[in-house]
Chain A
Amino acid sequence: MENTPAQTAIQAVGLRKSYGDTVVLDGIDLEVARGTIFALLGPNGAGKTTTVQILSTLIGADGGDVRVAGRDPAADPDGVRRAIGVTGQYSAVDDLLTGRENLILMADLYRLGRAEGRRVADALLERFGLAEAARRTAATYSGGMRRRLDLAMTLVGGPRIIFLDEPTTGLDPRSRRTMWDIIRGLAADGVTIFLTTQYLEEADRLADRIAVLDRGRLVAEGTADELKRLVPGGHVLLRFAGPDALDAAARALGDAVRDDAELTLQVPSDGGVRSLRALLARLEEVAVEPEGLSVHLPDLDDVFLALTGRPDDAKAAVR
């Protein structure tokens, strides 16, 4: 994707960052076109937050060339800050202030003026479903409400580029969907969105382009469809009562991955009813009954397995 500088909201070339001997970002290239949603996908410790922190002027990089809104965060941090809004991974609201006071604090810092600041604050409270809770301190908010207040605070200054570091981690499915709608709404207004996530599904639903980050390196970049083509299909996991049954099934099924310790077979499958029926019929022929069966459709684990050759342990633990 070739963009002229005017169309590029965020660009990084050869971005590097180390903490002591630990290399956290090992030469990352990114390009985010204006008005698009870009997802940086990766497991715990991949370097997502570090990337956001560098792009949003919070910390310095060790190397590489970065442009955000056409400016270099290292040389002209205030220029970048005037164009961006950041919702970090961890809540950045003032617990001791009410929701409304938090927003007015932002409005004052953006110097919107008294009347305009209050108007913007009230409009955001309404838009984010926080009007009822506007006069309670943020300490009393639920996780979903805090996240929404956090994002609302980010929007007070009317940023053209927004960074969202794991905006839905820890939210229940309903709050997650609300957050997705909000993010789509922002994109529809022409705001550029750079978000990080651990969920392929989230990147899939929201992003125009996705980059997969693993241990400080980008292992893939493209649209959701392009990425999915890199991933093998799903599989069916069969569990057997004993080694004899496992042997018999393995012989009958041919191209299956066998795990003797767990007594399981992993058989490639699209997970459809028809192929499941065929699979079970084949086992029936050799008179083997699996003890358990589960269907796995491609997810981040598979993307990781395919792209890095190892399973994404961290994420498996999260699910």
Chain B
Amino acid sequence: MTATPHVLTDSATMLRRNLRHALRYPSMTVVSIGMPVLLLLLFVGVFGGALGEGVGATAREGGYIDYIAPGIILMAVTSGCLSVSVAVSVDMTAGITARFRTMPIARSAILTGHVAGTMIQTVASTLLVVLVAVAMGFRPHAGPLDWLLVSALLLALVFALTWLAVGLGLVAKNPEGASNSPLLIQFLPFLGSAIVPTGTMPDGVRWFAEYQPFTPITETVRGLLTGTPIGHDGWTSAAWCTVIALAGYLWSRWLFDRDPSR
């Protein structure tokens, strides 16, 4: 008899534990909702006038919020996913993981529980940010199929980034380290087309912006929601998500399955 049949039960138990943590200490969730909302207020309410003129060429009649909302939604996704790094690192550095490792449970459940919990939280926080954007005047004109595609793409991104963030949490020496390394990723949407079109950037930055994963993903989400052209950004986005998911998953599993004494 192996532990394999218990993967689902054990993962569900771990998921319950992580959701309970999140409900009891919602500070991470609050930050991952609060930051995008704050940025939305800042960029639309404060800089909106100037930036809106800057993107005038690409922005449609909806104004600057229609340009920026997809980028802000991606930030909500990113910051939601990346919060798992700290949770994983806290678990790894506290004795509780050592306890789990000496119990007859499906080991993968420890990570699966984190990933599932973070995905649920991120979906919820992203939905909230979408609602806030709509309340502030964001008017997507997307059909049901567009919404479905956006949801699928965002879910794939959530899955991929969460596994990547789990890996970052596992390599970190302590929770402080785990809260720092994801900041770089969190910053990536800014160095893409989230706030302003890449065409407006200086050469070096533009080159980076055009080839990093968040630009095609931003363009795809924006295209699906507001009707701007997508081109092959859709397929590029799907490819990026697949690569990040696979790399993040394999890396995390390898880090976790290593002998902790190495």
The interface of chain A, by Cβ under 8 A from chain B, is: 17, 19, 50, 53, 56-60, 78, 81-82, 84, 86, 88, 90-97, 101, 105-106, 108-111, 137, 153, 157
Task: Count A/B pairs, Cβ under 8 Å.
Answer: 72
**Residue in contact with A109 in the complex, picked from B13, B95, B98, B260, CB distance below 8 Å:** B13
Q: B20 near A: Cβ within 8 Å?
A: yes
In the complex, how many residues of chain B place their beta carbon closer than 8 angstroms to a beta carbon of chain A?
26
Q: How far is the CB of A78 from chain B (nearest CB, A)?
A: 5
Task: Mark contacts of B50-73 with chain A using CB atoms, 8 A cut-off: 1 yes-contact digit, 0 otherwise.
Answer: 000000000000000000000000
What is the chain A residue whose CB lies nearest that of B12? A108
Check A88/B6 contact, CB under 8 A, given A19-B261, A58-B102, A96-B25: no
Other CB < 8 Å A-B pairs besides A19-B261, A58-B260, A109-B103, 17 of them? Answer: A57-B101, A58-B102, A60-B261, A81-B102, A86-B99, A90-B95, A92-B99, A94-B94, A95-B94, A96-B20, A97-B17, A105-B17, A108-B16, A109-B13, A109-B100, A110-B103, A111-B6
Q: B143 near A: Cβ within 8 Å?
A: no
What is the chain A residue whose CB lies nearest that of B2? A78
Q: Give Cα A90–Cα B99 distance, bound, in whole angstroms.
A: 10
A-B contact list, 17 entries, CB within 8 Å: A50-B261, A53-B261, A56-B102, A58-B98, A58-B260, A58-B261, A59-B259, A59-B260, A59-B261, A88-B98, A91-B94, A92-B94, A94-B94, A97-B20, A105-B13, A109-B100, A110-B103
Q: Give Cα A189–Cα B104 distance, bound, in whole angstroms.
A: 22
Q: How far is the CB of B94 from chain A (nearest CB, A)?
A: 7
Cβ–Cβ contact B102 & A86, under 8 A: yes
Q: Give Cα A59–Cα B104 distance, bound, in whole angstroms.
A: 15
On chain B, the residues within 8 Å of A50 by CB distance are: 261
**Residue in contact with A58 in the complex, picked from B9, B24, B101, CB distance below 8 Å:** B101
Q: Give Cα A91–Cα B93 distance, bound, in whole angstroms.
A: 11
Cβ–Cβ contact B95 & A92, under 8 A: yes
On chain B, the residues within 8 Å of A93 by CB distance are: 95-96
Q: Give Cα A56–Cα B20 distance, bound, in whole angstroms.
A: 29
The interface of chain B, by Cβ under 8 A from chain A, is: 2-3, 6, 9-10, 13, 16-17, 20-21, 24-25, 94-96, 98-105, 259-261
Q: Give Cα A60–Cα B257 distance, bound, in whole angstroms.
A: 12
Q: How far is the CB of B197 from chain A (nearest CB, A)?
A: 44
Cβ–Cβ contact A109 & B20, under 8 A: no
Check A84/B259 contact, CB under 8 A, given A96-B24, A96-B25, A111-B6: no
On chain B, the residues within 8 Å of A109 by CB distance are: 10, 13, 100, 103, 105
Q: Give Cα A19–Cα B95 distance, bound, in whole angstroms.
A: 20
What is the chain A residue whose CB lies nearest that of B259? A60
On chain B, the residues within 8 Å of A90 by CB distance are: 95
On chain A, the residues within 8 Å of B102 by CB distance are: 56-58, 81, 84, 86
